[in-house]
Amino acid sequence: MTAKATGGTVETDVLVIGSGGAGLYAAIEAARNGQQVMVLTKGVLGKNGATLTSGADFNLDGHSIRRLFGFTADPRDAPEILFEDTINVGEWINNQKLVETLVDDAPQRVKELVDWGTRMEGLAMPARPGCRYPHGVKTTGLEISNVLAKKVKQLGQQVTVRDNIMATDLLTSNGRVVGAVGLDFAHGDFVAIKAKAVVIATGGGQEIFPIHTYPKEMSGDGQAMGYRAGAELLDMESMQFITMTFLHPYPPTSARFLILFMSNGGWLLNKHGQRFMSKWDPQNMEDARRSLVAVAVNKEILEGRGWKGDRGGYVALSMRHLPEDIIDYLSGDWYIRRCLFSKRDFDHLKKDSIEAFIAPHSFQGGLRVDENGSTTLAGLFAAGEVTGGLHGADRLAGNAVSQCFVQGSRAGRSAARFAAKNRSAEVNKSQLESLREKVFAPLERKDGVSPLEMRRRLQKLASEKLINVRSGESLEKAVGEIEEMKKSLPRLAARSKNPRYNREWVAALEAENSLVVAEMIARSALMRTESRGNHYRYDFPATDNQNWLKNIILRRVDTKMRLFTAAPPGPLHFARVTPPER
């Protein structure tokens, strides 16, 4: 059976939204389970999403690494070690069932990727912060994206991919998700797809911040669509920040990772020449957990111990204490080369320090899913970075790429089973019509608020108030400002009325989603009155295991965002290990 059109609405068995690692894996798995699949993607198959740009080292335990690839992984590294490292770095608020499936399934998924043609380069060395041994196997995001795209094409008519479509909302009927609608921005057309099951795999929402490490298309659409349809999300206050640089004195092209410089002996210094990491983690110093380093860097900047630059505050990363040949050696590292550092940069590093600041990296909170990818709504499944619960308060480096394959595969299988058991439900005509009107409104409106201006305003707010170092007072203000900005949504208008590739039109549709995601972050961060992982509260600087070994869950109730907490045996599931303090 192929996808078919029914009165302007196309029909399929399983609809997958997003074509990164998680989405494509879900599509392949649903097709392997006998279902007709359609994939909607905001970009072009194989050429979009964070997966394409990722490192990409991905984690599996050392035993499996040796067994599958013959790489000389540390013999002490075992599945249990990867499991515990993930929970420790996540500061005990991970859903242990999700972690368990990651550790158990990752070897199988990686083996499959290799069978499909993925070339592995070796172990990701040295061990990333928080890993007792190097768990990562490395390849490239481009390699993975090419292999998955090729596999999807090999499935022929069983998987239809529709490029340049922004899904805008889910279709629901009697509490079940029955499809989705969106904008085909290449042609300016409204699209409606009726499906027996839907998998959301739309990645993060980094575009609410002005500078970040992700592709621009990440505007939090999946989180917002799920929320509007009534699904639960969790731990939205938890997102990863990472120490980055623009090279001084050269003009910036993009923010670049500094992780490898720090784990190879680089020093972070404030303007008084102090290695401030000694206050936070005297043993690991700059090689401490990424969340801790990011909080420390930002506190130095915010408290005036950094420098002020044209692009904001910064501290210094120096390698001048190291012999020059170490710096030369590092210039040959595959990861550093991939971050676009040039010979000129390394010559500069021998004489001078470089600017270090923090930027948002991956999302850790998101749609609440169980280990099979089911959300809290019937017919809706989710996988990858759009979901929450696996990483807890901080993500172990290398776990996100593994997550895409493991969760993508499980969600695809679950969606296929659901589709096989359930007939397609009727689409509500008035819902369809109002969602169509919503899509066209910013194009048809004569004049009003500029969507790009709205985005800039939100990005300014997020960079000041939603970054990792927070306070109750500034979070309250953020919530107030977001409420104010929401009033402008019905007045958003694209100035250009060209229906094809209209950037402002798409930005207008993204604006609502980004505002919802910003509100989720602000309200959840306000509720978590403690500091944990990437979430640091000036007014509650300590980690409070007595009261806060909990997830923060949110959902839409009567158009309002409602938050509540859940402790074990809720989504936390201390199934295998219990926190040492308990």
Ligand X SMILES: Cc1cc2nc3c(=O)[nH]c(=O)nc-3n(C[C@H](O)[C@H](O)[C@H](O)COP(=O)(O)OP(=O)(O)OC[C@H]3O[C@@H](n4cnc5c(N)ncnc54)[C@H](O)[C@@H]3O)c2cc1C
Q: Note whether 203 binds ligand X by CB under 6 A.
A: yes
Positions in 212-251 near ligand X (CB under 6 A) = 213-214, 217, 221
**Contacts of range 182-189, beta carbons closer than 8 Å, 24 or more positions apart:** 182/40, 182/439, 183/439, 183/505, 183/506, 183/509, 185/500, 185/501, 185/502, 185/505, 185/506, 186/500, 186/501, 187/499, 187/500, 188/443, 188/498, 188/499, 188/500, 188/502
Measured from the CB atom, the residue of 230 and 579 that comes closer to ligand X is: 230
User: Which one of 11, 57, 77, 207 is in contact with ligand X (CB under 6 A)?
Assistant: 57
In this chain, which residue has its C-beta nearest to ligand X? 20
Residue whose token pair is 């409070």: 544
**Contacts of range 570-578, beta carbons closer than 8 Å, 24 or more positions apart:** 571/95, 571/234, 571/368, 571/389, 572/93, 572/94, 572/95, 572/96, 573/95, 573/96, 573/97, 574/96, 575/96, 575/97, 575/100, 576/83, 576/96, 576/100, 577/83, 577/84, 577/87, 577/96
Mark 108-147 with x for binding to ligand X (rule: CB under 6 A) and - for no binding: ----------------------------------------
Residue whose token pair is 């515990």: 84
Q: Residue 164 corresponds to which tokens in the numbers above?
A: 């340049």
Q: Residue 578 corresponds to which tokens in the numbers above?
A: 């219990």
Mark 9-28 with x for binding to ligand X (rule: CB under 6 A) and - for no binding: --------xxxxxxx-----
User: Which one of 10, 30, 38, 56 is in contact with ligand X (CB under 6 A)?
Assistant: 56
Q: Is 562 exposed, middle or buried (0-12, 13-18, 19+ CB in 10 A)?
A: exposed
Mark 58-97 with x for binding to ligand X (rule: CB under 6 A) and - for no binding: x---------------------------------------
User: Which one of 29, 33, 42, 414 is in contact with ligand X (CB under 6 A)?
Assistant: 42
Distance CA 241, CA 339 (A): 17
Residue whose token pair is 């970054």: 467
Measured from the CB atom, the residue of 124 and 349 that comes closer to ligand X is: 124
Measured from the CB atom, the residue of 513 and 531 that comes closer to ligand X is: 513
Positions in 344-373 near ligand X (CB under 6 A) = 362
Cα–Cα nearest to 93, from 562, 542, 538, 528: 528
Positions in 167-186 near ligand X (CB under 6 A) = 167
Least distance in angstroms from the C-beta of 367 to ligand X: 11
User: Which one of 102, 166, 262, 411 is in contact with ligand X (CB under 6 A)?
Assistant: 166
Measured from the CB atom, the residue of 134 and 306 that comes closer to ligand X is: 134
Measured from the CB atom, the residue of 168 and 424 that comes closer to ligand X is: 168
Q: Which stretch binds ligand X (CB under 6 A): 52-60, 321-329, 515-523, 525-533?
A: 52-60
State in Å, rounded, how far the first CA of the chain is from the last one: 54
Query: With contacts defined by CB under 6 A, how many residues of the chain interact with ligand X?
Result: 39
Q: Residue 138: how many CB atoms within 10 A of its CB?
A: 21
Least distance in angstroms from the C-beta of 53 to ligand X: 4
Least distance in angstroms from the C-beta of 420 to ligand X: 24
Q: Residue 344 corresponds to which tokens in the numbers above?
A: 């000129």
Least distance in angstroms from the C-beta of 232 to ligand X: 18
Q: What residues make contact with ligand X under the rule CB under 6 A?
A: 17-23, 40-43, 48-51, 53-58, 165-167, 201-203, 213-214, 217, 221, 362, 384-385, 398-401, 404
